[in-house]
Amino acid sequence: MHDIERRVALRFHEESISADTHVNISAIRGDASGCLWLAGDETATVERLNAERTDRPDSYGAQRTFRLADLVPLPGAGDSEADIEGLGVDGDHLWAVGSHSLVRKKIKPKHDDAKAAKRLARVRDEANRHIVARLAVERGEDGLPRVVRETADGRRSAVLGARRKDGLTEALAADAHLSPFLRIPAKDNGLDIEGVALKGEHLFLGMRGPVLRGWAVLLEIAPVEGRNPAELVLDSFGGSRYRKHFLDLDGLGVRDLCPHGEDLLILAGPSMELDGPVRVHRWKGAARSRDPEVLRAEQLPVELELPHGSGDDHAEGISVVSEPDGDKLLVVHDSPAGHRLRGEDTVLGDIFALP
């Protein structure tokens, strides 16, 4: 287990606290300005937090919320959750990816046996989960980045999946590996996207599930503008609209992705309702990949072994943070343990030194 170098405070405003975003962080990505972009899995928003110092930040705050419905056309109601599970930054755009997953109802302590059994039979499909959004970024009057529907120089926000028939889920409907899992809920080893990393004009999408005989799946797609400038379509890879990579992560699924130079850092954790183990692997030279790959364990060395809780404190998002003494990895958690909470508005993330 690797030691935590220090902790950083993430401060949230009242609206996000009411929505439980601070205890349901599902994605994070830092940008060149020193801001953090975050998302929670129970809203249809992205959040921006500012570093309170830039050289070695120990706290982020001054949160601003951006509604996806104000930026792109959504397939569902504007405030229906999008379950954003991956964020990526390329300077001009912020990418936000929904889980594309189904949800099985939870049993709660108050439910009797009959009610509990009935809830376990109920599965819901929420349209906004099936999106890949490219949000246009520009500088506001305060000098900070913001996402907008259209920038002053004409760049527009756009989305893949505004119409389900054009989305990624439909593209996978005939896939030999993945189509059997499209109707299985995420926590049952069904299809569940977690993590996005940019690779030039392409996107890597991590998959928490399915894990196939111990092998995790990484998708690669190339969204481009369609006839409607507010909508994206999938470009072709020599006849296919996506590329698949298979990763030996010792039976774990992908929980997040983060580029590091030409390499790809992969947060790996259980695909189902388990606590650990949790590791960060490195795919060296991932940005140079040109073909579908099957990556053995020796090609995916473990960079970090991360601590995890028991029933809580699940590492959910990673972002590289550049500091004067080298690159660090910021790790944030879903269902944070009590020791991470500071008052009503602050949750702590972990900083690890990268080997």
In the chain, what are the domain boundaries?
Answer: 6-353
Dist CA 64 CA 146 (whole Å): 9
CATH code of the domain occupying 6-353: 2.115.10
- Identify the bridge partners of residue 25 per DSSP, sorted by sequence position: 40
DSSP alpha helices (H): ranges in the chain? 14-18, 113-120, 168-171
Dist CA 16 CA 138 (whole Å): 23
- Of the candidates 212, 91, 205, 206, the one whose C-alpha atom is nearest the C-alpha of residue 145 is 91
Residue 2 is predicted with a pLDDT of 84
Residue 244 is predicted with a pLDDT of 98
User: And the tokens for 244?
Assistant: 């698949």
Residue 311 is predicted with a pLDDT of 85
- Identify the bridge partners of residue 269 per DSSP, sorted by sequence position: 253
Dist CA 11 CA 271 (whole Å): 29
Dist CA 330 CA 101 (whole Å): 26
Q: Which residue has the tokens 């376990």?
A: 120
Chain segment 233-263, per-residue pLDDT in tens: 999 987 899 999 999 999 999 999 999 999 9
Chain segment 146-159, per-residue pLDDT in tens: 999 999 999 999 99
Residue 53 is predicted with a pLDDT of 78
Residue 186 is predicted with a pLDDT of 94
pLDDT band at 165 (very low <50, low <70, confident <90, very high): confident
Residues with Cβ within 8 Å of 30's Cβ and at least 6 positions away in sequence, in order, are 36, 37, 89, 319, 320, 321, 330
Amino acid type, 15: E
Dist CA 103 CA 209 (whole Å): 13
Give the SS3 label for residue 226.
coil
Position 130 pLDDT exceeds 90:
yes
Residue 276 is predicted with a pLDDT of 86
| 152 backbone dihedrals φ, ψ, rounded to 5° | -65, -30
Residue 231 is predicted with a pLDDT of 97
On average, the pLDDT of the chain sits at 95
Query: Alpha-carbon torsion 163, 74, 32, 24, what sign?
Result: negative
| 308 backbone dihedrals φ, ψ, rounded to 5° | -145, 160
User: Hey, how many other C-beta atoms are within 10 angstroms of the C-beta on 21?
Assistant: 24
